[in-house]
Chain A
Amino acid sequence: MNTAEVEILLVDDSPEDVALTLHALRGENLSNRVFVAHDGEEALEFLFCTGPHAERSFDPPPKLVLLDLKLPKIDGLQVLKQLKGDARTRTIPVVLLTSSREERDRIVGYELGVNSYLQKPVDFDEFRKTVKLLGLYWLVTNQPPVINVKSHLAGQR
């Protein structure tokens, strides 16, 4: 998969969750351009085009980041913080998709600039419905900011 075509960055350490999420996305034909990061570190490397992803360009950015909270190495809130704290990645929509129903996490997430916060429903039908809605909304319905990161960045420099 060409990382340049990545539309969704899925950050989840659980292969089961990844499989289920991808299964759900597959139903909507959205699963082809998904890149899965299995921990926070990998997610940041992908987003900031470092490490194994040094070849990757910031442009075009993924259309959506589905971020779990509990992640090995660097947890989801930490990832979110760095992502929203950097001008190069700030505009990327991030949805926290997590098992946690903890209010605290939700509040911190919004404070850090998350675009949406969803609890993964235990029931698979509902899960599937949620993921489908998410994909369609952020990839189809939602109008992303005019993406010309390069010029944007050039302008800033």
Chain B
Amino acid sequence: MKRTTASRLGKEAKAVPVVAGSRAEVSESKSGSDQLQMVEEARRLLAAIVESSDDAIISKDLNGTITVWNRGAERIFGYTAAEAVGKPMWMLMPAERVKEEEEILARIGRGESVEHYETVRIRKDGAKIYISVTLSAIRDGNGTIIGASKIARDITERKIAEEDLRGQAQVLDSGQAFVCDLKGRIVSWPSGAEKLYGFTSEQALGTLSHDLFRTGFPEPLEGIEKKLFETGFWEGELVHRKCDGGSITVSSTRVLHRDRQGQPVRILETNIDITAHKQAEQRLAGQAEELSRQAEELAGSRAALETQTLMLQSVLDSIGEGLVAADETGKFILWNPAATRIVGMGAKNVPPGEWNSHYGCYLPDTATPYPVERNPLVLALQGEANTAEMFVRNPELDHGVWLEVTGTPLKDRSGAVSGGVVAFRDITQRKIDEREIRKLNEELEERVARRTAQLEAANEELEAFTYSVSHDLRAPLRHIGGFSKILSEEFSPDLPPEAQAHLRRIENGVHRMGLLVDELLNLARVGRQALELRATTLNPPIEEVVCLLQPEAEGRAVTWKIAELPAAECDPVLIKQVFQNLIANALKFTRTREKAIIEIGSREKDGQLVISVRDNGVGFDMKYSDKLFGVFQRLHRAEDFEGTGIGLATVHRIIHKHGGRIWAEAELDRGATFYFTLAAAKPTGISASPSTSKTAAAGAQL
């Protein structure tokens, strides 16, 4: 500044050195008019210079009173010379600067030189201005300081520009933009960049930026540089490493700076961290992908749903059951074709209270209108599952149909009733069938009653018959037997041996016939008698029978093996008859055995008591076993074993009467075993007579 002022002064007034020199010369020269004129001339010149100077030139005395005020001062400060001269200097100063001025003045007063300085002053209009000041002392002829001259220049614009620049520099410094030379070496490293990357200026400056950042380029570096140098601009995304090794994605902008001649001088590189943005972008892309996948899935499941819906729809359309659903307000939401076919009418959204009347629903008496509150769909809408029979007759169904209706509430996920559905079937045919069956049943019952009466009559006849047999058939027998006996006893000496043999045959025939009649009567009686069931221990009757048959076993080796049998619910008289017949048989058919073995035992089978009578006799061929229990059926010749063929038939009838079963196992010449049970295998609900049902109950107890 000082230099600048000096040079300017020098430039504008070549005469100044002369003046200065002349003053020296003046002080040394002699007074003279020439000299005076020269001095005056010089003063005028100086005054003109002062007056024409752009700078403010002011002088003041040591009190600070303004003594000189040139045009420059007027322009800078706004005061005219008239306004300023004689006024105190501090009027130009802001309050905080008055002290500064005083100090400077004091320094000048002490003879110290004050370099130029910059300060702030207040213009007449109150505006603050920056000025550059050069102060110099003014001495009198004696060299005594009497004041100070001040050359001030308005530097406000420059100051503002400087501040702007400083501000800009600060902004730049806090920013991330850094500068590289044309080779890419970092030449400026603002704090913003340091903050971003973590590298210090020492690390960064002079280093190739892509080395420092280990830049991952999306395209070859040459291409980037080519574009930068051709267009002066490049931008793109790069991946950089930070000082801590972390990777960041930056949006990078490179601008080529040129000098005034257009030569490239430097590169400004600005990198903005877009890692978070990038990650968000990736997340977003992921989410978008997921979303599109879900959308695809949704579309897929929607297609499946549609297929399923179509399928369900066709099922609903094709099933024979009528299906009707309503929402909770009673609005029909489903009415399948079968429903229309069955009730003859389609869905019509009448209020639930009018359903019965609209569709013609009646109670099973086919005349009473179905009560609204009992309508199956109404009940379903109230959350009540139900089943009903209903008669429907309306103008479309002249004869009416019988329906079996099932109502079910529809529930949403929370379990709240959201509607109802009824399924119904046309059971008219079934109703007709039922009626038919009922009729048939009635007829059947009638027939059964008739048949029962017939049977009873037949039974009575049979009774009468057996009574006759018992009396009338036996009498002639007795007569034949009696007289043949008398004949053979009293007249045998007169009879030839052949006649005697005939008489014996007659007697034998009579004897056999007697047995036959007795056993037939027995059989008939078993059929007629009612069972008297009571818990019976089975061993005592067996012992009685064995005792009774002892004469048969006389002179034979018979081994009895009689197990301890449990008690059974049966008729004690008849069970004795059973044992008697079976044991008598066993004795009879073991007659040819040297040692007869007769075993009586029992076992449990399927919860039933099975009693067995086993012998080691002649047995029989199982192929005839079906004839075993028939009346008059015999499997042995009379010459070998006598018998009537009624005994086992009687046993069979007794067992059958108990609801039990009898069967035999045998092998020719290897013995026979008879098995029987005394109750039906399973109690059944069907009972022909009270006695058999009693037996069934007894069976359940067993």
Chain A residue with Cβ nearest B488: A124
- Tell me, yes or no, whether A99 is within 8 Å of chain B by CB: yes
A interface secondary structure, majority: loop
Q: With the chains together, A70 CA to B475 CA distance in Å?
A: 11
Chain A residue with Cβ nearest B513: A122
- Whether A16 and B483, one on each chain, are in contact in the complex, defined by CB atoms closer than 8 angstroms, is yes
A-binding segment of B51-59, B368-376, B427-435, B466-474: B466-474
- Whether B470 and A16, one on each chain, are in contact in the complex, defined by CB atoms closer than 8 angstroms, is no
- Tell me, yes or no, whether B511 is within 8 Å of chain A by CB: yes
Chain A residue with Cβ nearest B522: A101
Interface size class of B (residues with CB under 8 A): 20 to 34
Q: With the chains together, A122 CA to B474 CA distance in Å?
A: 7
Contacts A100-B470, A101-B521, A102-B470 hold; do A124 and B482 have CB atoms under 8 A apart? yes
Q: With the chains together, A69 CA to B470 CA distance in Å?
A: 12
Q: With the chains together, A58 CA to B484 CA distance in Å?
A: 39
- Tell me, yes or no, whether A53 is within 8 Å of chain B by CB: no
Contacts A14-B475, A17-B475, A99-B472 hold; do A122 and B481 have CB atoms under 8 A apart? yes
Chain A residue with Cβ nearest B514: A122
- Whether A124 and B467, one on each chain, are in contact in the complex, defined by CB atoms closer than 8 angstroms, is no
- Choose among B475, B486, B511 the residue that contacts A99 (Cβ–Cβ < 8 A): B475
- Whether B479 and A14, one on each chain, are in contact in the complex, defined by CB atoms closer than 8 angstroms, is yes
- Tell me, yes or no, whether B107 is within 8 Å of chain A by CB: no
- Whether A20 and B478, one on each chain, are in contact in the complex, defined by CB atoms closer than 8 angstroms, is yes
**Across the interface, which residues of B come within 8 angstroms of A23, CB to CB?**
482, 486
**Across the interface, which residues of B come within 8 angstroms of A101, CB to CB?**
470, 518, 521
Contacts A123-B511, A123-B514 hold; do A100 and B471 have CB atoms under 8 A apart? yes
Chain A residue with Cβ nearest B517: A122
**Across the interface, which residues of A come within 8 angstroms of B467, CB to CB?**
100, 102
Residue picked from A19, A20, A69, most chain B C-beta under 10 Å = A20
Residue picked from B467, B475, B481, most chain A C-beta under 10 Å = B475
- Choose among B471, B472, B479 the residue that contacts A16 (Cβ–Cβ < 8 A): B479
- Whether B471 and A124, one on each chain, are in contact in the complex, defined by CB atoms closer than 8 angstroms, is no
- Which residues from 442 to 501 on chain B have a C-beta closer than 8 Å to any C-beta of chain A? 467, 470-472, 474-479, 481-486
What's the least CB distance linking A28 to chain B, in Å? 15
- Tell me, yes or no, whether A111 is within 8 Å of chain B by CB: no
Q: With the chains together, A120 CA to B474 CA distance in Å?
A: 9
- Tell me, yes or no, whether A138 is within 8 Å of chain B by CB: no
- Whether A127 and B471, one on each chain, are in contact in the complex, defined by CB atoms closer than 8 angstroms, is no
**Across the interface, which residues of A come within 8 angstroms of B475, CB to CB?**
14, 16-17, 99, 120
- Whether B470 and A99, one on each chain, are in contact in the complex, defined by CB atoms closer than 8 angstroms, is yes
What's the least CB distance linking A22 to chain B, in Å? 11
What's the least CB distance linking A129 to chain B, in Å? 12
- Whether A20 and B470, one on each chain, are in contact in the complex, defined by CB atoms closer than 8 angstroms, is no
**Across the interface, which residues of A come within 8 angstroms of B511, CB to CB?**
122-123
Q: With the chains together, A100 CA to B484 CA distance in Å?
A: 22
Q: With the chains together, A125 CA to B472 CA distance in Å?
A: 20
Q: With the chains together, A26 CA to B293 CA distance in Å?
A: 128
**Across the interface, which residues of B come within 8 angstroms of A120, CB to CB?**
474-475, 478
What's the least CB distance linking A10 to chain B, in Å? 15
Chain B residue with Cβ nearest A16: B479
Chain A residue with Cβ nearest B511: A123
- Whether B482 and A70, one on each chain, are in contact in the complex, defined by CB atoms closer than 8 angstroms, is no
Q: With the chains together, A87 CA to B186 CA distance in Å?
A: 167
**Across the interface, which residues of B come within 8 angstroms of A20, CB to CB?**
478-479, 482-483, 486
Q: With the chains together, A15 CA to B472 CA distance in Å?
A: 14
- Whether A127 and B482, one on each chain, are in contact in the complex, defined by CB atoms closer than 8 angstroms, is yes
Q: With the chains together, A85 CA to B485 CA distance in Å?
A: 39
- Whether A124 and B521, one on each chain, are in contact in the complex, defined by CB atoms closer than 8 angstroms, is no
**Across the interface, which residues of A come within 8 angstroms of B479, CB to CB?**
14, 16-17, 20
- Whether A124 and B481, one on each chain, are in contact in the complex, defined by CB atoms closer than 8 angstroms, is yes
Contacts A70-B471, A100-B467 hold; do A122 and B477 have CB atoms under 8 A apart? yes
Q: With the chains together, A102 CA to B528 CA distance in Å?
A: 13
Could you give, for residues 508-523 of chain B, a 1 whenever the CB lies within 8 Å of some chain A CB and a 0 otherwise? 0011001001100100
- Which residues from 210 to 233 on chain B have a C-beta closer than 8 Å to any C-beta of chain A? none
Could you give, for residues 82-111 of chain A, a 1 whenever the CB lies within 8 Å of some chain B CB and a 0 otherwise? 000000000000000011111000000000
Q: With the chains together, A98 CA to B518 CA distance in Å?
A: 15
Chain B residue with Cβ nearest A125: B485
Q: With the chains together, A11 CA to B100 CA distance in Å?
A: 187
Contacts A16-B483, A101-B521 hold; do A122 and B471 have CB atoms under 8 A apart? no
Q: With the chains together, A103 CA to B143 CA distance in Å?
A: 191
Q: With the chains together, A19 CA to B514 CA distance in Å?
A: 20
Chain A residue with Cβ nearest B490: A23
What's the least CB distance linking B527 to chain A, in Å? 15
- Choose among B478, B485, B486, B510 the residue that contacts A17 (Cβ–Cβ < 8 A): B478
- Which residues from 25 to 81 on chain A have a C-beta closer than 8 Å to any C-beta of chain B? 69-70
- Choose among A16, A69, A99, A124 the residue that contacts B474 (Cβ–Cβ < 8 A): A99
- Whether A98 and B485, one on each chain, are in contact in the complex, defined by CB atoms closer than 8 angstroms, is no
Q: With the chains together, A99 CA to B483 CA distance in Å?
A: 17
**Across the interface, which residues of A come within 8 angstroms of B471, CB to CB?**
69-70, 98-100, 102
What's the least CB distance linking A15 to chain B, in Å? 9
Q: With the chains together, A98 CA to B472 CA distance in Å?
A: 10
Q: With the chains together, A33 CA to B486 CA distance in Å?
A: 22
Q: With the chains together, A19 CA to B483 CA distance in Å?
A: 9
What's the least CB distance linking A24 to chain B, in Å? 9
Could you give, for residues 141-164 of chain B, a 1 whenever the CB lies within 8 Å of some chain A CB and a 0 otherwise? 000000000000000000000000
Given contacts A70-B471, A98-B471, A99-B471, 19 further A-B contacts (CB under 8 A): A14-B475, A16-B476, A16-B478, A17-B478, A20-B483, A23-B482, A70-B472, A99-B472, A99-B474, A100-B471, A102-B471, A120-B474, A121-B478, A122-B474, A122-B511, A122-B517, A123-B514, A124-B485, A127-B478
Query: Can you show 8 pairs from A to B with CB atoms below 8 A apart?
Result: A16-B479, A17-B479, A20-B479, A20-B486, A101-B518, A121-B478, A122-B514, A124-B485
The 10 A-B pairs at the shortest CB distance, nearest first, are namely: A122-B514, A16-B479, A124-B485, A124-B482, A20-B482, A99-B474, A99-B471, A100-B471, A99-B475, A122-B478
Q: Which residues of A contact B (CB under 8 A)?
A: 14, 16-17, 19-20, 23, 69-70, 98-102, 120-125, 127
